[in-house]
Structure 1
Amino acid sequence: MRDFAAELETRKQAGLYRTRRLISGPQQPQLVSDGVPLLSFCSNDYLGLANHPDIIRAATDAMPQTGLGGAASHLICGHHDGHHQLEARLAAFTLRSAALFFSTGYMANMGVLSALAGRGDTIFSDRLNHASIIDGCILSRARVRRYPHGDTEALADMLATTGGHKLVVTDGVFSMDGDIAPLKELAALCRVHDALLVVDDAHGVGVLGPQGRGSLAELGLSEQDVPVLIGTLGKAVGTSGAFVAGPELLMDYLVQKARTYIYTTAMPPAIALATCASLDLIEQEHSRRTHLQSLIREFRRGASALGYELMPSCTPIQPIMVGDNWSALALSEDLEQKGLMVTAIRPPTVPEGEARLRVTLSAAHSVADLRKLLAALADCRPLLKRPSSEVV
């Protein structure tokens, strides 16, 4: 029998062991983690909507009419008119013809990629794509070719030397680096080489573009440029679930072929209606994005002045590069002692030798919150200069 205990011990010795935190109360910057109040800078609630009273009210008001559970899959008797309303709202919000409501972003990526490519086809995937994209590629049984991160020249060479059905998939905003894919260049390459382009904009929807419509809208890319857009609703939108948006023909095809859509119970319809309320707020309250961008600029100025190595990101994801696992863990633990929660990200989530602190900012953070973080980082700066053997 495989020695699972030994594998766990190996992870502990390498600084790769992970533990769950027990969070009490709603998701917001001021969290209670394992009974201890902390100021959190590690949530994906970029607009501060996860605990918004209007969205909570929309869910509770819906429940007497919709009930709680989805009860069945969409193709049996689980496709509620609340789901249908959300899909129409998502299509309008993303400026696309149609949309489908999935249970999670992971299931959306797995379902879309395994439906739109298969044996004999080729998927071209950015080397830093999210795990759900990687797993969706594997599930498809298509040939997978990974191109260097953001390297459109390397991708162009690969596309030019490959025949058959071709699909290119990329994150819009990369979840661990915070940078944005070269989407205009990718769209142009896919037109030239007759490849289907799929973009997972999980970390761009709500944050980027006019009225928060995402990274594609920010660059003026239409459904014709990027036929398949995937997004999650548990990040900036503040609710739960995910969606795929694009031409009606492709959405109909996914209803027939995407196993993670067909063979799972539909999400609670009250969540769908609460998401409609959230999309209204995202469109109407530009001040949230303005405040968030101000926090991002101030953080980058302050952390850079302290000598921290930041990555080139204009998004709420602001990684502090550390390097080795133990130093990243020690910096995270030192910040927690000062009342701040900032997660250390280690392999395999990021490449070996690129452990980091993933600072994420939210419109719910105040300027005072950010200054508290910068002051704590100033106090912790000497820790990064210690040899790794001293921070185990």
Structure 2
Amino acid sequence: MAAASRPDLQERLAVQTANRERENLLRRVRTIDHADGPWLEIGGKRLLSFCSNDYLGLAQHPQLISALRSAASECGVGSTSAHLISGHRTGHAELEEALAVWTGRERALLFSTGYMANLGVLQALLARGDICVQDKLNHACLLDGAKLSGAELKRYPHADVDAAARQLTCSENAGVLLATDGVFSMDGDVAPLRKLAALCAHENATLMVDDAHGLGVLGSHGAGSVEAAGLNQYDVPVLMATLGKALGCAGAFIAGSHSLIEGLVQFARPYIYTTAMPPALAAAALVGVQLAQADTWRREKLSALIARFRHGAAQLGLTLSSSTTAIQPIVLGDAQAALDAANTLEWRGLLVTAIRPPTVPAGSARLRITLSAAHEEAHIDKLLSALEALHLRPASR
């Protein structure tokens, strides 16, 4: 091919962006000027937010802020190096130990983001010729991790354990890992973890759970969907969760056996070749872990708010998913309908995100409502009143 006939990569990207805008699917960045609990200021407007993942209301907790300030005063801002060079500080080690104890695992390993954690563990565990079986609604980083590993990716219909079983049984001569979200980020429902664990035990497959939206929220001690399902390290050998949602900080971790973590230290490239998270952030996250366990009232309050919202939505005739978690989507189907609804809610002082393809499947654009222990009953009632005024016609599911 002559050089002159090569495609212009930026021009191609511009065409793709224009196509997305024409289909009402263009994403836009919005700058938050100030945050005060569930209240956000954007461009001079004060909005009540229902699109944050701060499920326990810890992101602005004074104890987390104090811990971060104190650690930053003592050891500075950046860790200055990768964990394996000179970036691993006492705060990191203490946080890893606390996370391991909380989740009932032998060890835990910190990553800078959940995306990096999933890429790292899947790339380290899987190789060409192996098979990775995943729920079709898994988060993008699980899918990307499987693709980058070189393993064959097989996807089963959402929460369909029988379909997952068929994919496992036809893979007798390959190493197999089954990966699933614990709580699905766009639908809010919980994976059938007990059935998946039994299936993996029967088929000698490794089960991995991404519990980004379950940690801190589910389980008697807040240890997540795996704890809530009554499963342990042997049932779910690979557990990933994040620090940037219910714990109000940033970062992520993988928890499991000593041999798993030691193997990741040796072979997980996103861990090896990345600067460690700031030690001050680790100190704040450690306080978040402690509060998530001690302040049981946060989960109790969140549960009561979820029940209040679902009861009120039912009285309005709104069709909700089966979610009993903080994620409460209202599926409208059409992307423009979701955008219009979100814009009207914002005009009424509420910030609710319209989620559109390709984040969700085509024809399932939605309002993704998320609740927090930082909300009050009056906030829920304000949201319900605004939703009633929209006269929504949810899509059939």
- Residues 202-221 of structure 1 mapped to structure 2, 5 A cutoff: 202-221=212-231
- Alignment of 1:226 with 2:233, yes or no, is no
The alpha carbon displacement at 1:67 in A equals 1.3
Matched letter for residue 288 of structure 1: R
* Paired residue secondary structure (1:26): strand
Decide which of 41, 54, 57 is 1:32's aligned counterpart.
41
Aligned residue in 2 for 1:120: 129
Superposed displacement of residue 150, structure 1: 0.7
Give the Cα separation in 1 of the matches to 2:203 and 2:238.
17
SS in 1 for 2:47: strand
Indicate which of 37, 56, 60 corresponds to 2:65. Answer: 56
Per the alignment, residue 197 of structure 1 pairs with 207
Q: CA deviation at 1:81?
A: 1.2
**Residues 31 and 40, structure 1, Cα contact 8 Å, conserved in 2:** yes
Quick one: which of 326, 346, 349 aligns to 1:316?
326
Matches within 5 A, 1:1-392: 1=8, 2-26=11-35, 28-162=37-171, 163-381=173-391, 384=393
Q: Which whole-Å CA distance do the structure 1 matches of 2:211 and 2:36 have between them? A: 22
Contact persistence 2:123–2:268 (CA under 8 A): yes
Does structure 2 conserve the Cα–Cα contact (< 8 Å) formed by 1:27 and 1:50?
Answer: no
Structure 2 letter corresponding to 1:146: R
CA distance in 2: counterparts of 1:188 and 1:307, whole angstroms: 38
Give the deviation of 1:27 after TM superposition: 6.1
After TM superposition, give the deviation of residue 384 of structure 1 in Å: 4.2
Question: Contact between 1:212 and 1:282, CA under 8 Å: does it hold in 2?
Answer: yes
How far 1:24 sits from its partner (Å)? Answer: 1.5
Counterpart of 1:197 in structure 2: which amino acid? L
What is the DSSP-based 3-state SS (H/G/I as helix, E as strand, rest coil) of the residue aligned with 1:374?
helix
Would you say how many aligned residue pairs link Structure 1 and Structure 2? 385
Secondary structure of the corresponding residue to residue 173 of structure 1 = coil
Q: Tell me, what secondary structure is at the counterpart of 1:198? A: strand
Q: Given residue 191 of structure 1, which amino acid in structure 2 is its aligned partner?
A: A
Query: Partners in 1 of 2:34 and 2:102 — Cα distance?
Result: 31
SS at match of 2:362: coil
Q: Is the 8 A contact 2:34 2:42 kept in 1?
A: no
What residue identity is the alignment partner of 1:355? Answer: A
Cα distance, 1:102 vs structure 2: 0.5
Work out the CA distance in 2 between the residues paired with 1:150 and 1:28: 34
CA distance in 1, matches of 2:375, 2:284: 23
By how many angstroms is 1:6 displaced?
2.7
Distance 2:270 2:37 in 1: 30
Structure 1's unaligned 5+ residue stretches are 386-392
CA offsets 1:333-369 (integer angstroms, 9 cap, x no match): 0000000000000001110000000000000000011
Between 1:22-31 and 1:275-284, the stretch displaced more is 22-31
In the alignment, the residues of structure 1 paired with residue 241 and residue 147 of structure 2 have an alpha-carbon distance, to the nearest angstrom, of 20
Paired letter, 1:222: N
Distance 1:332 1:366 in 2: 21
Corresponding letter in the other structure for 2:18: E
Q: How far did 1:18 drift?
A: 1.0
Deviation per CA, 1:66-125, whole angstroms, max 9, x where unpaired?
Answer: 211010001111111111111001101111100001000000011111111011111001
Measure how far apart 1:154 and its partner are: 0.9
Please give the alpha-carbon distance, in whole angstroms, between the structure 2 residues aligned to 1:222 and 1:93. 12
Mapped partners of 1:132, 1:35: distance in 2: 35
Give the corresponding residue for 2:3: none
Distance 1:324 1:259 in 2: 40
Name the CA distance, whole Å, in 2 between partners of 1:207 and 1:145: 30
Between 1:74-83 and 1:1-10, the stretch displaced more is 1-10
Q: Distance in 1 between matches of 2:67 and 2:225?
A: 27
- What is the CA deviation profile of residues 230-254 of structure 1, one whole-angstrom value per residue up to 9, with x for unaligned ones? 0000000101100000000000000
Using structure 2 for the length normalisation, give the TM-score.
0.95
Structure 2: runs of 5+ lacking an equivalent: 1-7
Letter in 1 for 2:190: I
Identity percentage of aligned residues? 53
CA contact (8 A) 1:327 1:384 kept: no
Q: CA deviation at 1:65?
A: 1.9
**Helix, strand or coil for the counterpart of 1:84?**
helix
In the other structure, the counterpart of 2:5 is: none
Distance 2:34 2:278 in 1: 21
For residue 19 of structure 1, report the CA deviation from its aligned partner: 0.7
Give, in angstroms, the shift of residue 30 of structure 1: 0.6
Runs of 4+ aligned residues of structure 1 deviating over 4 Å after TM superposition are none
Aligned with 1:326: secondary structure? helix
Q: Tell me the alpha carbon deviations over residues 272-311 of structure 1, each in whole angstroms, 9 at most, x when there is no partner.
A: 1111111111111111111100110111111122122211
Q: CA RMSD in A?
A: 1.3
